[in-house]
Amino acid sequence: MKHLTIALFLVLITTSIRAQDEETTQIKLIFDNALTRQEAYHNLEYLCTEAPDRLVGSENSLKAIEYMKQYFNALGADSVYLQEFHTPAWKCDSSSVWIIPQSGKPVMLHTDALGPSPATPMEGIMAEVIEVKSLDEVEKLGKEVISGKIVFYNRKWNPAFIRTFEGYGDAVDQRARGPEKAAEYGAVAVIVRSVTNSTDHFPHTGNTHYSNNKIPAVAISTLDADLLSEQLQKEPKTTAKVYVDSEDIPETITYNLIAEIKGKEKPEEIIVVGGHIDSWFNTPGAHDDGAGVVMTSDVLRIFKELNINNKRTIRAVVYMDEELYQSGGKAYALMVKNNGEKHYLALEADAGAFTPRMFTINASEETVGRIAAFLPYLKPYGIDEIKAGWGGVDIGPLKELGVPLMAYGTDSQRYFDMHHSANDTFDKINLRELQLGCGCIATMIYLVDKYGVE
């Protein structure tokens, strides 16, 4: 009996080692393919150079969707189709801010409107500027001080945060809620210091939330924010002129793009990978989030070229309108619910194409533990952590349907230098880092599909 037990143990050990060797070989094939092919890179180049400024409702947003649709068809995906949905939209043709000192010449600042800022009158809005560092400060000053003024939010990014997404979260309330708060107290317009840890002349736009009272809102570059602050210290009664030429669009027809390769054993179970193709009106959107779109789309190419027999259906979703109203993710989740589809897991890439660092998971403790067990396979390729955490904006609505969510994470130190600005251009993409991202995401999907997350 003792000899039989030892023999069985040796068989199990040998089988386990052989399985690990086979898995290591398959994963190397995935990375060999990802690192030697450049389809994702060329797809991103097209999006950035031929269809930049892809805000929902724009001509370029539809041009980009059509390009990716043709790519999936040429790839031989089992099904490729558009999901039509209706959403409000907004467009901005131009904006400007001028400092009007009590002495000296007016100075024009580097400016981009926040979305969906209302337009100013044709002549713009000119008023005295009052500088604040927080929404609480607006409340404390009250209507007596704020009414009739242009509120200037100028709290700097805190550089002490190691993870820059935490720094962004700490500073973004000025942009996201600041205009609405200032409007409550009678402000006529808002100027916001760009939410970035860089010091340059690039303004960084983004969305802001309004309730009933909408006032024009713009972002200025960090260097210009310092300039305006210095001017107010010298001349506290300094005025500024804000101009915004924008338009609310009550409803537009747009699309999410869906492509998939059917599962061989459990086709009814769907694993989703995706990113958002829309970008702000002022940017090619290379890292945010053209890179996420092409890296997740490359999963289908890798699976097809390597003839990986996926058990479950692998679906790439190219989401529209993450930036302005987040309508694409909501529309997709509603379709899933109405169709009664079973989504096994959803992965989103929306952290740029920098060096791979981690995967974060929004799911049960057991599911997190199961996926975290894949770390030894991915560690040689740059993934240091697989842990509980953020899922994603576009896939977020799937959480209500019980779908485990996952996000691909990169080294984010440079991400917010470019985020929502004209600086987010294709030349900022490193081919090697993008290709590693393709390999990491494809490997994670391969492991989830083969071994499951239960």
Task: Evaluate whether residue 325 is within a structural domain.
Answer: yes
pLDDT of residue 120: 98
What is the mean pLDDT of the segment spanning 331-347? 98
Tokens of 74: 């040429």
Task: Evaluate whether residue 21 is within a structural domain.
Answer: no
Q: What is the CATH number of the domain that holds 215?
A: 3.50.30.30
Alpha-carbon distance 116 to 98, whole Å?
21
Residues 274 and 399 in one domain: yes
What is the mean pLDDT of the segment spanning 8-24? 55
Which pLDDT tens digit goes with each residue over 227-260? 999 999 999 999 999 999 999 999 999 999 999 9
Residues 195 and 279 in one domain: no
Distance of CA 130 to the CA centre of its chain: 32
pLDDT of residue 104: 86
Residues β-bridged to residue 127 = 240
Task: Evaluate whether residue 83 is within a structural domain.
Answer: no
Contact, 72 vs 316, CB < 8 A? Answer: yes
Q: What is the CATH number of the domain that holds 358?
A: 3.40.630.10
Residues 309 and 358 in one domain: yes
Where does the pLDDT of residue 222 fall: very low under 50, low under 70, confident under 90, or very high at 90 and above? very high
Alpha-carbon distance 341 to 118, whole Å?
39
Task: Evaluate whether residue 405 is within a structural domain.
Answer: yes
pLDDT of residue 10: 36
Q: Is the pLDDT score of 4 beyond 80? A: no
Where does the pLDDT of residue 17 fall: very low under 50, low under 70, confident under 90, or very high at 90 and above? very low
pLDDT of residue 14: 40
- Mean pLDDT, the chain, rounded, equals 95
Q: Is the pLDDT score of 19 beyond 70? A: no
pTM for the whole thing?
0.94
Which pLDDT tens digit goes with each residue over 345-378? 999 999 999 999 999 999 999 999 999 999 999 9
Report the domain count for the chain.
2
Which pLDDT tens digit goes with each residue over 270-306? 999 999 999 999 999 999 999 999 999 999 999 999 9
| Number of Cβ atoms within 10 Å of the Cβ of 267 | 15
Alpha-carbon distance 78 to 248, whole Å?
38
Terminal-to-terminal C-alpha distance of the chain:
35
What is the mean pLDDT of the segment spanning 31-54? 98
